Amino acid sequence: MDAKTQGNVTEGPPSGDLGRRIAARRTQLGLTREETAARAGMAATYLAHLEEHPAAAPGPGALGTLAAVLQTTVSALTGGDADLPPGPGLAGHTPEFTELSRTECGDLLSTHGVGRLAVSTAHGPVIVPVNYSVVDGTIVFRTARGATPATDGPVAFEVDRIDDAFSQGWSVLVRGRARLVTELDEAHRLARRAHSTPWAGGRRDLWVRIEPYAVTGRRIAV
């Protein structure tokens, strides 16, 4: 694999659970390896070692320092909370609740991610997670026939992020109408612009588009 040089550090791809989690978190914060290492008081080459070697085993002190710099927890960095629902911590001491503007909601939806699709069925409401992309102001996702009970009709779609370390987060709710994409050329265009294939795997070649008529959001900060 190719590597790139950053300062005096040759940067290769992250490897192992810890390495991928460190790299993903610093990327989310917009930090380079050099910047992260400097804030943590460690050599950039050591941080590169942690990210690129699955067998790397930093001590509790190094992990705690990295967690603080990356504004997260040791448990999150090591994957200890991978199977836990988000938000198990206590509320912040002085939480601030705000409504988000339409522009802020659009920025948070960004271009792709994983969201929750809510739809009414004959057996009651159903909520399923889907890998989505935002294309031309609409939400699109790929599914298999019979896998998702929403190919034509009103739906709700929600995305959120929770920061357990700081007891804060945000959510965006989209209400709209889902329609099955039947034009072959349009389906091919969406396939070219999609970020990735669905995580669930298998053959999922049906595209569904959600045309929003209402987009709202809220944020809880400390």
CA dist 167 and 92 (Å) reads 5
Q: What pLDDT does residue 4 have? A: 43
* Sequential DSSP letters for 4-48: EEETTEEE----HHHHHHHHHHHHHTT--HHHHHHHHTS-HHHHH
**In contact, 108 and 217? CB cutoff 8 Å:** yes
Distances 214 to 5, 18, 128 between C-alpha atoms, Å:
45, 39, 20
Give, in order, the Cα–Cα distances in Å from 67 to each of 54, 58, 61, 207. Answer: 18, 12, 10, 39
pLDDT at residue 195 in the model: 78
For residue 1, the model assigns a pLDDT of 38
Q: What is the predicted pLDDT for the residue at 82?
A: 64
Q: How confident is the prediction along the chain (222 residues), in pLDDT tens digits per residue?
A: 344 444 444 556 665 688 988 998 899 889 999 999 999 999 999 999 999 988 888 888 999 999 899 988 888 888 876 666 666 666 667 788 899 999 999 999 987 889 999 998 888 888 989 999 999 889 999 888 777 766 678 999 999 988 776 778 899 999 999 999 989 999 888 888 877 777 677 778 889 999 999 999 999 887
| CA angle 169–118–108, rounded 5-degree value | 35
Question: Residues with Cβ < 8 Å from 135, sequence gap 6 or more?
Answer: 190, 193
**pLDDT at residue 158, rounded to an integer:** 96
Hey, what domains does the chain have and what are their CATH numbers?
4-78 (1.10.260.40), 96-221 (2.30.110.10)
In the prediction, which pLDDT does 193 show? 83
Residue 96 has a pLDDT of 86
CA atoms of 212 and 195, how far apart (whole Å): 20
Q: Which residues contact 166 (CB under 8 A, 6 or more apart)?
A: 71, 92, 222
What is the distance between the alpha carbons of residues 81 and 144, in angstroms, rounded to a whole number? 30
